[in-house]
Each structure stands twice: as C-alpha cells, then as structure tokens.
Amino acid sequence: PHLRTFKDHFQTCKVEGAWPLIDNNYLSVQVTNVPVVPGSSATATNKITIIFKAHRECTDQKVYQAVTDDLPAAFVDGSTSGGDGDTKSLLILERESGRYVEMHARYIGTTVFVRQLGRYLTLAIRMPEDLAMSYEESQDLQLCVNGCPLSERIDDGQGQVSAILGHSVPRTSLAPAWPGYTLEAANAQCHEKMPVKDIYFQSCVFDLLTTGDANFTAAAHSALEDVEALHPRKERWHIFPSGSQGTPHGRGHWAVS
Amino acid sequence: CRIQKCSTDFVALTSHLNSAIDGFDSEFCKALRAYAGCTQRTSKACRGNLVYHSAVLGISDLMSQRNCSKDGPTSSTNPEVTHDPCNYHSHAGAREHRGGDLNPPGYLFCGLFGD
C-alpha cells in the first residue's frame, strides 16, 4: 500500500502480513496486507486493528477491528463509546454503513478514519505530536513514525512511484499493462477525480495499472480527502514527485506544496 | 522532551497568584496538579532527563508543603477553557489554538491506502 508517514514521507511498500503502523503509550494500530494480484509484490490492506489503551479515568481499553466486508461501527466488545456515559471521551461514528467509520478519541486529541473501498481498507489518523512520540525505544517498528523498512519498499528508494511506472509498463504502449488499463486510460481516469497531479494522482495511476481495479481510484481520492480533513498543515496536503512540481529531498522525502 | 513547556505553563499559571489573597492555596494546588499531569504525559520521552526528574521531585515536595490532594481540578493555560481531564484540547490544545489557527501545528497525520 501507499503510506504517508507522520513526517510526510510518502512510500509504496510491500509489507505483506501484519505490520504495526503505530505503537505508543496511547494507541496501537496494526494492519494486515495481502497480495492484490499474482506475481506482483504489491499488497493492500484487508484488516485493521486499533487498540485505544486504557487512560486513567477517561476510558478503559477499547479494541476496534475491521476486515474486508466487516467494517463495524462498534468496538469488539460491542460498545460504541468509551468513558462515562456523559463524557464519551472515545466515540465511534458510522458515516457510511459498512464502508466508513470515524473514531474520535477526545482524551488524546486523536481522530481515526477507516474506510473500505472495493475489497480493501484505508486508514487515516491525526494525533498530537507529543502523544505520537511517546513510546519506548523498543517500539521502533512503527510505519507511521519511521516509514517502511528499505527491504519492504517497492518504490525506487526515493518514493518514486513514477519510476516504477516507467520501468514496469511501457509508457507509450496502447496495450494494457494489466487487464483493463493502459497508462493513458489510467491517467485519464485518475485525472477525473484528482486534477492535481500530485503523489495521490500518481498512486492512483500505479494502482490502476497494477490491479486493473477501478476502486483504487476512489481509494486514492478519499485518501486525499482524508488528508484535507485531518492533516494540520494545508500547505503540506499535496506532495509532488520530482520532475513535476517539486523535488525530492533525499531518500523517501518529497517536496510538499 | 517538552518538560520545559510544562514548567513554562506552570510559571504562567502561578505568576499572577498572590499568597495574600483568598483562594491562593486552591489555585496553587490546581496549577500543581496541572504541572504533575503535564510531567506525567512526558514521562516516557523525558526518562533520564535531569530537568524532568527535578521537576517531578519539586512538584511532589510542593504538593506536600501545600497539602494539595493528588486528585482534583487542575488549571488550564487558557483561563477561558474549563479543564476537562478527558479532553486533550482543554489542556493541551488551548495554547495551540491561540491566534485563531484552526489547524494548529503540533498534530501529525498518517495515512495508508491503495496497493
């Protein structure tokens, strides 16, 4: 999947199986990714587990789990909130039945969006920096904090999905690289939803070419919407790949604008 | 590790207090509890930091001297915000919302999507 880290680094990763996105003193988020097409290392998320850790008088521990085709609007214990009846310092809201839920953890100033688009899940999290950085040294494997390990990256080492596109599919070919989409068709479809040719647009093209699944257009589009809803800095919403409207700032770094 | 921020907030909360006026003890205890809560939130990141450990010991001493209970209301750095221990914004966000910034810095975003 495509990962945007707390540092606004953008990466495309393999990370097949279960991986921790966040593991600090307040929150634990783990995802499970599975291959999307045979013969490709690309994976997508089909399970998300979120643990809101017990926090003094505000809430006892609450676990949320979503898998493909089972996106509940409740924690695993059946409750829809944490904390006292009136306080509700932790709350789940169902925005679209079975498709989109929001979790608002007021006591830690944290908001989580979970969506299902097509067969796969997406995740967006906003968390205070001081809480996100509150973890033990042993908890260093957190994709949101440190990004994917280099061995798990399927971009070119500088986050350049464009390089993958250039190498894996002939740019001028009229024949689809994967059943369903030529590069031109993928570009056109993604451009309809995302007129700004940023990294979300490129990810959309990448996903269409690697899977032929049009649902990934909606996933990239809603991922950008989630950024606009949750990312604290408007000037950083869009990330541009090198050669378009920005330049990479070293390994895994992207220009933001 | 942000212990300095905790200390700065405590100074801000107590600098205007006058021991000669009614309610001083109560307000001072509120500020101390807020200070204690702030240090508690930074405890992991500040482990081994001498300033942090000095602050924790100092708070404990002051709470004993002033007969402050550990539980009770706490001060907010923003007097307009009523403190709610289960509302992060009421004790941490208040300072960040000053100036009318609707998207205050101090928050981080992480996202995962696609394939």
* Lowest model confidence (mean pLDDT) among A4-18, A34-48, A150-164: A150-164
Q: Do B86 and A87 touch (CB under 8 A)?
A: yes
User: Which residues of chain A does B41 touch, with a Cβ-Cβ cutoff of 8 Å?
Assistant: 130-131, 134
Dihedral, CA atoms, B112, A238, A170, A153, nearest 10 degrees?
Answer: -40
- pLDDT band at residue A168 under the 50/70/90 scheme: very low
Would the pLDDT of A254 be above 90?
no
Q: How confident is the model at residue A83 (pLDDT cuts 50, 70, 90)?
A: confident
* pLDDT for A121 beyond 90: yes
User: What is the percent of chain B with per-residue pLDDT over 90, rounded to a whole number?
Assistant: 9
In this predicted structure, what is the pLDDT of residue B5?
77
Contact A89 B87 (CB under 8 A): yes
- Among A114, A134, A199, A202, the strongest candidate for a mutation testing the B interface, having the largest count of B CBs within 10 A, is A134
- From chain A, pick out residues whose CB is under 8 angstroms from the CB of B87: 89, 106-107
pLDDT > 70 fraction of chain A, expressed in percent and rounded: 83
Residue A131 CB partners (closer than 8 Å, separation 6+): A24, A25, A26, A27, A108, A109, A110, B41, B88
Residue A250: the pLDDT is 39
Alpha helices, H only, B2-49: 3-14, 24-41
| Residue matched to tokens 């009229």 | A174
Tens of pLDDT along A146-158? 999 999 998 654 4
Whether the CA torsion A170, A172, A174, A179 is positive or negative: it is positive
Which residue of chain A comes nearest to B114, CA vs CA?
A1
Residues A21-32 pLDDT 10s: 999 999 999 999
Residues of chain B with pLDDT under 50: 79-81, 93-105
| Dist CA B114 CA B27 (whole Å) | 52
